[in-house]
Amino acid sequence: MNINATLIGQAIWFGLFIWITMKYVWPPLQKAMADRQAQIADGLAAAERGKNEQELAAKRSADALREAKEKSSDLIAQAEKRAQQIVEEAKGVAKVEADKVVAGAKAEIDQEVERAKQALRERVAELAVAGAEKILRKEINASAHADMLVALKQDL
């Protein structure tokens, strides 16, 4: 064990290797490691954000679904009510129309009856006259009515 100029040589080696590490080994590795760390942190943050957003979206979609359901049930109820209303209205209108038709028909019938009666009335006089004529024609003979004619003569 003796100390000699090897010391200087070794110090030079040591300095050279420190320089290599300082210049070519550590900075790129440090950069790569720091970058990767940042990337991982970013990735984790993004994942967290994504998870939050997904939760939010799920909530929002559930809300929208519920709203839509409510709206649709509202609409259905409304539609049902409206349908009923329309049916009622139609029923009313139909009734009125039917009444009107019935009334019209009745009036017409009455008119018709009246007309028939009128006609009949006219015909009755004719018929009466015709009948009377027929009867008169058949009944008139001088012998049968001589008495009456005699009486007439006497009155005159």
Partner 1 sequence: MSAEGGTTGYIQHHLTNLVVCSDSAKVDGVCTGFWSFHLDTLLVSGILGLVVFGLMAMLASKATSGVPSSGQNFVEMVVGLVDQQVRDTFHGKSALVTPLAITIFVWVFVMNAMDLIPVDFLPSALQAATGNHEMPFKFVPTTDPNLTFAMSITVFVISIVMGLKVKGVGHFMHEVFAVPFGIKLAPINLLFRIVEEIARPISLSLRLFGNMYAGEMVFILIALLGIYQLPLALPWELFHILIITLQAFVFMMLTIVYMSMAAESH
Give the interface segment with partner 1, choosing from 32-40, 44-52, 96-104, 113-121 (CB under 8 A): 32-40
Nearer to partner 1 by Cβ, of 32 and 124: the residue is: 32
Is residue 39 close enough to count as binding partner 1 by CB under 8 A? yes
Cβ–Cβ < 8 Å for 149, 156: no
Rounded to whole angstroms, the Cα distance separating 21 from 29 reads 10
Nearer to partner 1 by Cβ, of 32 and 96: the residue is: 32
Is residue 144 close enough to count as binding partner 1 by CB under 8 A? no
Nearer to partner 1 by Cβ, of 30 and 78: the residue is: 30
Give the interface segment with partner 1, choosing from 26-34, 45-53, 56-64, 126-134 (CB under 8 A): 26-34
Rounded to whole angstroms, the Cα distance separating 149 from 140 reads 11
Is residue 156 close enough to count as binding partner 1 by CB under 8 A? no
Residues that bind partner 1 (CB under 8 A): 1-11, 13-18, 20-22, 24-33, 35-36, 39
